[in-house]
């Protein structure tokens, strides 16, 4: 299974299990705290939109994410899904591709 297929499958499974594609609602149902930070999450020329911390489960959204909040929140929710399914975890580049596919699939009508 490709990383993109993994992300799409995970999104479909969560939508079916929880009956919603709203990342805010899913975060609440999965026990993930969502925080907003007014500080720059990046360093140097690196821009960070959001990050996920597994213990306790928390997603922090930084100012650059404001224009597309739902996408970045959904992307980070995939990383939470990975934490719950360590056998499905991928290396960083593959994980990021899967998280993007997850966000796209979750937010599609």
In the predicted model, what is the mean pLDDT of residues 46-58? Answer: 90
Report the distance separating Cα 37 and Cα 50, nearest Å. 9
Q: What rounded mean pLDDT belongs to the chain?
A: 91
3-107 domain in CATH 1.10.10.2910? yes
Domain borders along the chain are: 3-107
DSSP run (H or E) holding 13: helix 3-18
By C-alpha distance, which of 12, 26, 63 is closest to 42? 63
Instruction: Kindly report, residue by residue over 11-36, the tens digit of the pLDDT.
Output: 999 999 999 999 999 999 999 999 99
Q: How many Cα atoms occupy the beta-carbon half-sphere of 95 within 13 Å?
A: 17
- Any idea which residue has 């991928």 for tokens? 90
Other C-beta atoms closer than 10 Å to the C-beta of 54 total 12
């Amino acid at each position: 299974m490709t990383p993109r297929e993994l992300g799409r499958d995970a999104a479909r499974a969560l939508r079916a299990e929880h009956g919603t594609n709203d990342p805010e609602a899913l975060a609440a149902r999965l026990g993930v705290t969502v925080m907003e930070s007014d500080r720059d999450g990046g360093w140097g020329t690196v821009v960070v939109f959001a990050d996920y911390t597994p213990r306790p489960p928390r997603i922090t959204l930084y100012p650059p994410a404001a224009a597309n909040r739902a996408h970045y929140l959904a992307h980070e929710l995939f990383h939470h899904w990975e934490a719950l399914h360590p056998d499905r975890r991928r290396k960083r580049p593959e994980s990021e591709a899967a998280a993007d596919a997850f966000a796209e699939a979750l937010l599609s009508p």
